[in-house]
Structure 1
Amino acid sequence: MSKRHHHGPYPSLALVVIARNEAGCIQRCLMSAKPYVDRLVVLDTGSTDDTVAIAQACGAEVGHFTWIDDFSAARNAALVLANSDWNLVMDADEWIESGGEHLRSLCTATPYMGEVCISSHTFHEDIKIQANSQIIRLLPRGVRYERRVHEQPVAPLVQKRVPIVFGHDGYTDEKVEKKRGRNTALLLKELVDHPTDPYVLFQFGKDLEQTTLDFTRAADYYARALELTAPNAPYRHNLCMRLLFSLNRAGQLDTAITRAGEWMDEWAESPDFFYQVGILMTDASTKYPDQALSQWLPMAEQAFLRCLEIGDRPNLDDSTLGVGSHFAAERLADVHQRRSHYLANKAHYYLTLAEELKRGAATTPSAAT
């Protein structure tokens, strides 16, 4: 039996990472955590680059695991290897951005599962986009993972947020391309085993949306997931926003508008929700131009103004930073440009009509006797 590791009178704390071919980022990950933990533990799942050598140079204990298409199996093997009282679980493309100094005091005698804030950075058309998610990553001894992919720690313990922020840049185009297909195959296996699990349905919808751009099927899976998702599920906010987006992109604008109407109360304090509503109203002004000025554009304006009223909500799960500030302001500018365009066209229409009526009056015989 492996020896339990202790740090003086305190519970032992290990950083636990599974990795394969992460030579480009493993050092950043390990060195960000090294000042705050007792040990760095890396389980390599078959690297062919310098991942192992770099991890060892950082002072990590490196174990080896034969990959069996199961992230939970690898996570659990890494936790066994760590054999620590508390485990801080990280991915190689993450790093501690803030709060590491709190880690020691968070490892208490009373076990719980700690949710850290993961701040994901990506770019879309050269625009930096940041979204925060709350994910369980601080685990006491004995907690284990379930599911082949998008694995989750499972234990009858209270969950609470802790003041730790991880940076994450794993959603860049290059890194997403590396994952393309791998997760799909594992998710298909999960769907076979758990066809009514709302989280699996949600993740499969995300995979369809992001890797195949099949928004129609993605919306179908999101809708199925939503029917089964508990009202307090932490991913429900993201699920609803993705359903609205996918319905719209799938050409089901009217259905998206109906759905949004059902959620006005539920997401009354979500800038992401009103941002999506504003986009739906703006798109409706194009689809139904006769009502653009009287209905759709004023509703779009109100939605984006509501975004600014709420402001950014970094603590709301998977809220995109900017939808409560500069992105909403940019959309408002677009709404007013569209309104000016419609007004200009309307003015042009009536000026033209006036000229036609004048010409008609000049050439039409008088009705007077």
Structure 2
Amino acid sequence: MADPSPLLSFCAIVKNEVQQLAGCLESVRGVADELIVLDTGSTDGTPELAAQLGAQVFHFPWCDDFAIARNQSLSYAKGQWVLVLDADETLLPEFVPTLRTLLAQTDYLAFNLVRQEVGASQSPYSLVSRLFRNRPDVCFSRPYHAMIDDSVAEVLARQPQLKVATVPQVAIAHTGYSRANLQARDKLNFAARLMESYRAKHPQDPYVCSKLGALYVEAGDLERGIDLLDRALAGQPDNPQIQFELHYHRAIAASQQGDWAGAAHHYQQALALPVLEPLKLGAYLNLSSLLHKQGNFQGAIGLCEKALAVDPQFANAYYNLGLALKATGKLVEASRAYQRAIELEPEHANAYQNLGVVLMHRGQLAQAAQVFSRAIELHQAQNRPQAAEQLRQGLQGLGMQLPTH
């Protein structure tokens, strides 16, 4: 008798990921019933590594379209459910019991999963549709930021009895969105090229306008980015998550223009939307910084406290809280906030620097010197030599002697 179909198929598309793939595959071994890796042209031994780790390896020539490649990987899946990860993502072990419960559901088509953006300076969480039933009418679309949402909407229109749910527990850890990774791989230009090709055929699509507009804002092309974001907002998209991203990135653009009122408006619009609270953490953080600049320190403190109520491990919220507390003269409380930020993020150079300032104001000069020395070391290690030199010169001007190592 033939073996029954595996319950869960894991699918990934890869290219030159020998440094990261092992962690990804190890996180799903013993969870998924089959591991499928589609290689799109590696030259570094990635396919061989995947095979050694128990994956079925298939090959597919890269065609400048992530959706086509992802759908090709799905064609090999035999499970009733599919879990999709990238090589720079891992399934969190604490999510596995929840995952097994989800797979037992009979009336759900797909689940949206919360992803932790490891090392992200602003938004530590995002939402991805990566767990879904294996059926031919559920497939990826869009050449960049490929997603199943378009096909899922079509299936639900035909079969309204099926459900889609967002799982609030963090499921995936992702290391690929740090600025260092983006610059190392020249992803900004690559992403813009693929998304522009899609936008040429779908000029009013709010999702691509959101992603592409955010990309241009990040790259410093504010005029082009704002045009795309405003165009999408004018269309009043009905998806709250897309609305949130549009307002969030429009606020960032306004801040870069010095339009504080406009930025505050868009952050407030974003925070009022019905999306998961962890997804709002970047907006809480940025709005707190904005209120601080405007002298509204109590408002900044309140937003930091809201963010920490959502995620008590959010180091940058403690850092912003320390800034606002210091501005109100609460130096002891500010010290505690900075120290908590450092506990959570031991290489937080700015937290060390501002903790040194507070210690100096409290007369703890020896401790301040130690902390300032560490801040200088971190600035230099993180390729910020100008910040390190400015701090060093400022301390010399104050007559502070730093410890020698």
Q: Normalised by the shorter chain, which TM-score bucket?
A: 0.7 to 0.9
Q: Return the offset for 1:195.
A: 0.5
Number of the residue aligned with 2:179? 173
Aligned partners of 2:62, 2:16: CA distance in 1, in Å? 13
- Within the alignment, does 1:79 sit opposite 2:84 as a pair? no
Aligned partners of 1:40, 1:121: CA distance in 2, in Å? 24
- Residues 244 and 273 of structure 2 are in contact (CA less than 8 Å); yes or no, is this contact kept in structure 1? no
Local SS of the residue matching 1:16: strand
Report Cα offsets for 1:227-249 as digits up to 9, x if no partner. Answer: 23435422432332221121111
Equivalenced residues, count = 308
- Within the alignment, does 1:135 sit opposite 2:141 as a pair? no
Number of the residue aligned with 1:187? 195
Number of the residue aligned with 1:291? none
Report Cα offsets for 1:259-310 as digits up to 9, x if no partner. Answer: 4566675589856445433333444xxxxxxxxxxxx41x343243243146
Aligned partners of 1:223, 1:280: CA distance in 2, in Å? 21
Amino acid at match of 1:106: L
Report Cα offsets for 1:71-121 as digits up to 9, x if no partner. Answer: 110011100012321110101100011312333332233341011111011
Number of the residue aligned with 1:276? 286
- Residues 312 and 322 of structure 1 are in contact (CA less than 8 Å); yes or no, is this contact kept in structure 2? no
Distance 1:206 1:310, change over 3 A: closer
Number of the residue aligned with 1:61? 56
Amino acid at match of 2:287: V
Q: Return the offset for 1:17.
A: 0.3
Aligned partners of 1:147, 1:229: CA distance in 2, in Å? 21
- Residues 13 and 69 of structure 2 are in contact (CA less than 8 Å); yes or no, is this contact kept in structure 1? yes
Number of the residue aligned with 1:149? 144
Amino acid at match of 2:290: L
- Greater displacement, 236-245 / 131-140: 236-245
Aligned partners of 1:175, 1:257: CA distance in 2, in Å? 30
Local SS of the residue matching 1:113: strand
Aligned partners of 1:135, 1:260: CA distance in 2, in Å? 22
- Residues 219 and 246 of structure 1 are in contact (CA less than 8 Å); yes or no, is this contact kept in structure 2? yes
- Residues 14 and 86 of structure 1 are in contact (CA less than 8 Å); yes or no, is this contact kept in structure 2? yes
Aligned partners of 2:80, 2:7: CA distance in 1, in Å? 5
Counterparts of 1:122-271 in structure 2, within 5 Å, are: 122=119, 131-142=124-135, 143-153=138-148, 154-155=151-152, 156-157=155-156, 158-162=163-167, 163=169, 165-177=171-183, 178=185, 179-210=187-218, 212-259=219-266, 266=273
Distance 1:306 1:203, change over 3 A: closer
Local SS of the residue matching 1:144: coil
Local SS of the residue matching 1:161: strand
- Residues 216 and 250 of structure 1 are in contact (CA less than 8 Å); yes or no, is this contact kept in structure 2? no
Amino acid at match of 2:220: L
- Within the alignment, does 1:15 sit opposite 2:25 as a pair? no
Higher RCO structure (Cα 8 Å, ≥6 apart): 1
Higher strand share: 1
TM-score in terms of structure 1 length: 0.74
Amino acid at match of 2:58: G
- Residues 41 and 62 of structure 1 are in contact (CA less than 8 Å); yes or no, is this contact kept in structure 2? yes
TM-score in terms of structure 2 length: 0.68
- Within the alignment, does 1:107 sit opposite 2:103 as a pair? yes
Report Cα offsets for 1:179-233 as digits up to 9, x if no partner. Answer: 23211110110110111010000010121123x2223432332222222343542
Higher helix share: 2
Identity, in percent, stands at 25
Report Cα offsets for 1:308-339 as digits up to 9, x if no partner. Answer: 14634359xxxx9346x4033123135437xx
Local SS of the residue matching 1:17: strand
Aligned partners of 1:32, 1:278: CA distance in 2, in Å? 36
Amino acid at match of 1:326: Y
Which of 113, 117, 125 is the aligned partner of 2:114?
117
